[in-house]
Structure 1
Amino acid sequence: MKAVSVWRNRDFMLLWLGNGTSLLGTNSARIAYPLLTLAETGSPVAAGWVTFAGALPNILVQLPAWLNADTRNRRRTMAVCQAGGLVTAAVLVTLGMLDVSWFLPAVIALVFTEGCFFVYFQLAEMAAIRDVVQEDQRPTALSLYEAQTHAAVLLSRAVGVVLYGVMRWLPFFANLGSYAVATLTLSMVDGRRMNPVDQPGTVGSQPPRGVRQGLTWLWHEPFLRITNFLFGATNMLWQCMILLFIVSATQDRQPTWVLGLLLAGSGVGGLVGAAVASRVSGSFSARRIFAFALWGWTLCATAVAATRHPAVQGVAWFGVGGIGALSGVAVGLYRVNATPSPLLGQVSGASGILPNGAIPLGGLLAGYLLAALGITTTAWVLAGVMLVLAVTGTVLLAAMSPSRTRSSEEEPSKDPRSGAQSR
């Protein structure tokens, strides 16, 4: 019997189209928040706090949102999140139009609230894919979602900045429209198949046993422990650099479309890096690729510090995205091959805690650095930090057993503690 194409799955297509619209609107608004804050306050520190507030939910609500996705009806959760996001965005626009004196604390609170709704929605929707697609459709469905995420990040940075240049509040009105479209498409999805599934673990202050197992296994795997720490540190650094670009463009009075193209560079680089990643990963070990990534990033950070010309910085930012995608795929393949099958989901979830947790801290740190040191000095500080990370990573990777990464990539994976071979 011929399998039905996922393109003919009505519920999936409605979810996919609604998610794409929501991602484009939300991410466009997110990139415009620090621009708006700089215009209203003139303070890089205030812009850093707004950036911090938008990314903080990725740390604080990941676990409860994950548990909610497995214990509540997914469609109902998504509907509540879309409605909550719509109201939050509407309140933000209204306060801005009224020109209230307490604008900054209101923006911080509202951006944080919208971020919480966003995290709950995303995790519930990823769980809902299992509900609405058949097993043979899942590889294609997940690939479409992955491609959509990268494309939305790429487009939204450029679109958000350009819309802001046309009219200050236009990205936020576009965000309101995206919520309305996503709510409409979601209302047309059959929610009867999105009921909760009982999962082991406790709902409370203690993390589920699976999360603890994933963290423990990750800590005992040297290569993954080292790369996880360095991914977290570099994510913090790149978040600082994004705010640096925004402040620099504002002070230099660059056209907003120039900033949009610059910020979109990492997305283009990511697509190129992902396209060649499988071929490169088949020719070089994950350790060698990651070492190359560290020094490639150092070169890119140095180029950003050496000049404020947007074309040079755009090329460097393109390199950051391309190298990031290449190294991310290489380390991800290593993790899949090295991790015992029963622990793969737990380890994958645990491996995202530190890299994702560093993102809001980077935005907050950048504001204070830019206010205290200025743009040029901050750029050189970031380049110096990247150099230290490259040296540290190279030394730590060299101290590992020469066959450590190669054996995990070329042989069936084993649990390094128990010696049990996974399938």
Structure 2
Amino acid sequence: MGRSGIHANRNFLLLWSGNATSLVGFHGVRIAYPMLVLAVTGSPAAAGWVGFALNLPSLIFQIPAGIVADYSNRIRTLVICQITGLIAACLAAGAVAAELSSLALIVGVTAFIEGSVYVFVGLSELGAIRDVVSHAQRPAAFSFLEAEQPIAILVGRAAGAAVYGVARWLPFIADAVSYLYCLVALLLIRPDSTAPQKAAEPDRHSVRRTIADGFRVVWAEPFLRTSTAMIGLSNIVIQLVLLLILVELKNGGGPAWTVGVVLGAAGVGGVLGAAAAARLTTRFPPRNVYRGALWAWTALLVPMALSADPFVLAACWCGIGGVGVVSNVALTISRLDVIPEQTLGRAVATMALFCDGAVALGALGAGYLLSTVGAVATRWLALTAMFTLAAYASTRTTRSRDLPLALTSPDS
């Protein structure tokens, strides 16, 4: 791979552009799925179920996907994922275009499949990038990787909602095209640079020990225990706010693209947050960044509790996305300080199991809460819950091992 810059690394550019394009398509349908079910059924609870189906794989497959990423050829895993996602997207597009009577059930299944692809791709891509770049190129390569999510959220949500307004099946066709592009890009990668490493296949005992070690590290460290619980709770609140925005914008009668613009604002905030994160986490202790993030989220939920105006929602959602990225960087720094290097991957996978699982449960619970108490009460419940988390964190002891230092960026 030589000493040339990252822009001259053909394999990396193919890998990154393919996965980034696929991620844009995924975020497009991630907003189209609940919009579609909400339009077909008129039920926020049903929309919550499809959001649950999208996020449930994070609860089920997080650790298995990590084991696959460690013991399999990562490029081959990514290829299989793109083929699977392509089939699911085509199935969803066909079901929507044909207006099948079992449409809600079919899109629930395809949402689950696409959510599963998302989990396996996310864990394999990190190692695959390391496999195709030199050590000197890694900082630039991982900077590109860090930018994927906010860019995909911005472009995917805006485009997904816009084309949904033209035809309900169109976001799924665009999603299929993005899978196809990524598949072609992966197949063009030269195999001589992508054959890592294959570790010895684990036996049944070593797999059980691998999983148990991750849980043991998290449980034994007070900081990891507490922060994981706090992250999960905050992710539930964020999922509640996300579905609330969706329902209120639909009930407001505006064009479909408004939903994409408002929710895509989190991507704008994420890009700005990424630019500010290094300075903030260097200047302030991670503990202070954590507390500031919770109080910032609480403050941003106040205008959202008082108004359903799209401009207010977009501005606040932009801020939520930006604060999430900053706190995510602070958490990464903190984790590296307390987790032994030899168990880092397993411990992170264990925490992701709980934190991402909370996203799935939050999406499901949000639908039923909105159906039961309505939008106005839900706004104030979300604000109260976030305020409680911020107040709890601020009154905790200042001992670093007992205080959760930061939060992961919620999938806002």
Whether TM-score is above 0.5 comes out as: yes
Give the C-alpha shift of residue 167 in structure 1.
2.2
1-structure distance, mates of 2:66, 2:214:
15
2-structure distance, mates of 1:75, 1:404:
38
Aligned to 2:282: 282
Give the C-alpha shift of residue 313 in structure 1.
1.9
Aligned to 1:32: 32
> Relative to structure 1, is the Cα distance of residues 360 and 392 closer, same or farther in structure 2, using a 3 angstrom cutoff?
same
2-structure distance, mates of 1:215, 1:222:
13
2:58 aligned with 1:63: no
2:185 aligned with 1:220: no
Runs of 5+ unmatched residues, structure 2 = 406-412
Measured against aligned partners, the alpha-carbon deviations of 1:189-246 in whole angstroms (never above 9, x if no partner) come to: 1235335622585558x85534433433333333333222111111111111111111
Verify the 8 A CA contact 1:6 1:140 in the aligned structure 2: yes
Structure scoring higher RCO (CA < 8 A, sep ≥ 6) equals 2
Give the C-alpha shift of residue 288 in structure 1.
2.0
Verify the 8 A CA contact 1:218 1:350 in the aligned structure 2: yes
Verify the 8 A CA contact 1:298 1:383 in the aligned structure 2: yes
1-structure distance, mates of 2:145, 2:87:
26
Verify the 8 A CA contact 2:85 2:114 in the aligned structure 1: yes
2:195 aligned with 1:194: yes
Verify the 8 A CA contact 2:228 2:354 in the aligned structure 1: yes
Runs of 5+ unmatched residues, structure 1 = 409-423
> Relative to structure 1, is the Cα distance of residues 66 and 202 closer, same or farther in structure 2, using a 3 angstrom cutoff?
farther
Aligned to 1:134: 134
Measured against aligned partners, the alpha-carbon deviations of 1:72-94 in whole angstroms (never above 9, x if no partner) come to: 33333222221111111111111
2:117 aligned with 1:117: yes
1-structure distance, mates of 2:200, 2:230:
32
Point out 4+ residue stretches in structure 1 off by more than 4 angstroms: 199-204, 403-406
Give the C-alpha shift of residue 155 in structure 1.
1.5
RMSD of aligned alpha carbons: 2.4
Verify the 8 A CA contact 1:235 1:359 in the aligned structure 2: yes
The 5 A counterparts of 1:259-298 are: 259-298=259-298
1-structure distance, mates of 2:188, 2:197:
20
Verify the 8 A CA contact 1:211 1:349 in the aligned structure 2: no
The 5 A counterparts of 1:34-49 are: 34-49=34-49
2-structure distance, mates of 1:196, 1:282:
35
Larger Rg: 1
2-structure distance, mates of 1:98, 1:242:
29
Measured against aligned partners, the alpha-carbon deviations of 1:144-177 in whole angstroms (never above 9, x if no partner) come to: 1111232112221111111212222221111111
The 5 A counterparts of 1:240-389 are: 240-389=240-389
> Relative to structure 1, is the Cα distance of residues 337 and 196 closer, same or farther in structure 2, using a 3 angstrom cutoff?
closer
2-structure distance, mates of 1:119, 1:202:
23
AA aligned to 2:137 is Q
2-structure distance, mates of 1:121, 1:2:
27
AA aligned to 1:291 is R
AA aligned to 1:220 is A
2-structure distance, mates of 1:49, 1:360:
9
Give the C-alpha shift of residue 346 in structure 1.
3.3
Measured against aligned partners, the alpha-carbon deviations of 1:306-365 in whole angstroms (never above 9, x if no partner) come to: 111121222221221222222222222122223333333333333322221111111101
Give the C-alpha shift of residue 22 in structure 1.
0.6
AA aligned to 1:223 is F
1-structure distance, mates of 2:18, 2:392:
43
- The percent of aligned pairs where both chains have the same amino acid is 38
> Relative to structure 1, is the Cα distance of residues 405 and 332 closer, same or farther in structure 2, using a 3 angstrom cutoff?
farther
Aligned residues: 403
The 5 A counterparts of 1:77-116 are: 77-116=77-116
The alignment partner of 1:100 has SS state of coil
Give the C-alpha shift of residue 405 in structure 1.
8.4
After superposing the two structures, state which structure 1 stretch, 356-365 or 131-140, moved more: 131-140
